[in-house]
Amino acid sequence: MQIIRAKHAGFCFGVKRALQFAEVAAKRFGEVYSLGPLIHNPQEVERLSKCGIKEADDLKHVVGSNVIIRSHGVAPAVIDQALVQNLNIIDATCPFVKRTQGYARGLAEDGYPVVVVGDKDHPEVEGIVGWSNGAAIVVENYEEVEKLPNKENAGVIAQTTQTEQNFKKVVEVLQDKTQNLKVYNTICHATAERQEEAACLAKQVDVMLVIGGLNSANTRKLARICKESGTTTYHIEKASDIDVAWFLGVGKIGVTAGASTPDWIIEEVLQKMMEIKEQEDQKNMEETMTEEVTEQNNEEGNEENAPEETAANENEGDSSFEEEYHRGIQEVRRGERITGTVVQVRDTEVLVDVGSKSEGVIPRSELSPNEAENIRETIKVGDQIEVLVLKRENEEGHPVLSKKRVDQEIIWEKMYDAFETGEVVTGNVAEVVKGGLLVHNGVRGFVPASLVDLGYVEDLNAYVGKELRMKVIECDRSHNKLVFSPKAVLEEEYQKKRTETWEKLEEGQTIQGIVRRLTNFGAFIDIGGVDGLLHVSEMAWFRVEHPSDILKEGDVLEVYVLGVDREKEKVSLGLKQLLPNPWSYAGEKYQVGSIVEAKVVRTAPFGAFVQVEPGIEGLVHISQLDTQRVAKTEDVVKPGDEVKVKILSVDPEAKRMSLSIKEAAGIEEAEKEVPQEEPEENTGLQVSIGDMIGNLKDE
């Protein structure tokens, strides 16, 4: 019996990822809170509550310091508020939702009015609107779009669960009302994928099993699609609904599940199916063994029916020889693990003395791949090895043994010990499969995509061939299930690093950090497991409009520790403190009376502030703007203008500089009007350049 599970069954990627985040967090912290229900399924919410995953409808109701952002995502203001409350954020926002949030933010920053197609009261849509600085317009259908005013520019995105048909209609109407429309189709097509896969799978199997609520519309539709293919289909809610009689004599069974079906229900059903399969396999094996025993009994019966005279002759005087022959000979039993000594190594097999009357044989296929490929280099005569008895005797009377299977059992034992103790194990990534990575370390294990690294991994292929350090989080030999988590190791190391950082952290230090996140008010810098805030006012000696003007996520830089609050676990950082203050050399660089290039940065009723270099600004008083009387500063200059100014005064300590556009213009005009004088004849009173140099030397 072969069981085939649909590639996409049950929860979508985003929901499944959020659940994995939550469960790992609960194991680590004991109790965590999700902001709103983590999943819209009462049974699953109840199960999660028992695991320590509680629900809070507001950040104020979060008990402790750990909060999960569910797959719907939230507005940036919620993230900022959580940071203000010093909460540890576990961001489980679906990557597809996060992508939609990014489009909303980008459109808003580019000055495009944002239109979101979706349910305005849905948490996902509320979060998307927040990423547009609250300016997005939410519409549910094209009728609402028709009521909107015409726009020159606009951008349209969709709630991830919208239908393709509705989104297309909205886009069509918007194109008629907008001259320049940017369209981002952000719909997730998980439901359509499930239906297409179910129809395809049903044609390949003898029986289809559809898991999900009997009242679930999407699950009923899956069952109907499977039945329409002509395949016998059973719709069940849970494992206990299964009737073993459904699968008697069945070759292939297909399994799928509706989008509202929790993974644990699917796993229970699959486990029940595996038990049925194992029972069938066991039954077949027992029948085979019965046939072998029958054959053996027939052979023994033939011996017993031999002439009595022969038996009598054998028993006469030969009993002592038989006892001596069998003394010390070990009877090997099928399935037994025994230790033996290698007595001969051949190209296709290894002979092992296991204490029986004949040497045991290990076929090349029952060695590990490396041993089989390099049989004479890896196995030597005299080696003590542990083997499993596959067969008491082959045609030549030798026990048939396996070293590979013992090695695997030993590794499974080590994996179980590592599971119990939390020991770190290693394994090599063999390939990328649905939902994660396959890892080999003597046996095959699985790493879910959400547990590969601390954050979301875009391309899992980058890990193929690499060795990973991991913890065992599931170990079930009976079902051949082994699940690893590299993330658990990274989190443990992260916490250790965080503790060490807090122990060493002091005000006045210069420390290296990595830019993790940018906000309107600053940047959060990872300084070794601890996030410090680099406020926008501490980034440079000049005015910075937005952190993205000088930083980007992933930048590695040196920062100065301005303050440390261990109680609230807050660190304030500075960057400009490590840079020279331009005012410290302004007195030498900018001499009174000199003329320099400058840029108008802002205007005021009393004059204009101009920047002579980043970090140094001076004031051109309204009286110094022009030779004529100026009524309004804006009549002469505006922000962004490039001007020439004369330096009237410099006060580095007060960080002030007085400037004049009027006098700079006057000097330039005067220089143009001064006529070129004819060279005069030399007189004895004139001084040459050589005389001047000589006088300077004398002085």
Which residues belong to the active site? 124
Q: Are 577 and 541 in contact (CB under 8 A)?
A: no
Angstrom distance (rounded) from CA 196 to CA 175: 31
> Which of 31, 187, 3, 201 minimizes the C-alpha distance to 100?
187
Q: Is 193 helix (H, G, I), strand (E, B) or coil?
A: helix
Q: How many CB atoms lie within 10 A of CB 203?
A: 12
Q: Looking at the DSSP assignment, which residues form a beta bridge with residue 55? A: 34
Q: The tokens 């109907």 sit on which residue? A: 224
Rounded CA separation 545/548 (Å): 9
Amino acid type, 616 = I
In terms of Cβ atoms closer than 10 Å to its own Cβ (0-12, 13-18, 19+), residue 130 is buried
Which amino acid is residue 142, in one-letter code? Y
567: buried, middle or exposed (CB in 10 Å: 19+, 13-18, 0-12)?
Answer: exposed
Comparing C-alpha atoms, which of 540, 549, 511 is closest to residue 528?
Answer: 511
Other residues' Cβ atoms within 10 Å of the Cβ of residue 42: 9
Compute the distance between CA of residue 141 and CA of residue 119 in angstroms, rounded to an integer.
10
575-579's contacts with Cβ under 8 Å and 24+ in sequence apart are 575/534, 575/538, 575/539, 575/540, 576/538, 576/539, 576/540, 576/541, 577/538, 578/510, 579/540, 579/541
Q: And the tokens for 563? A: 């303050």
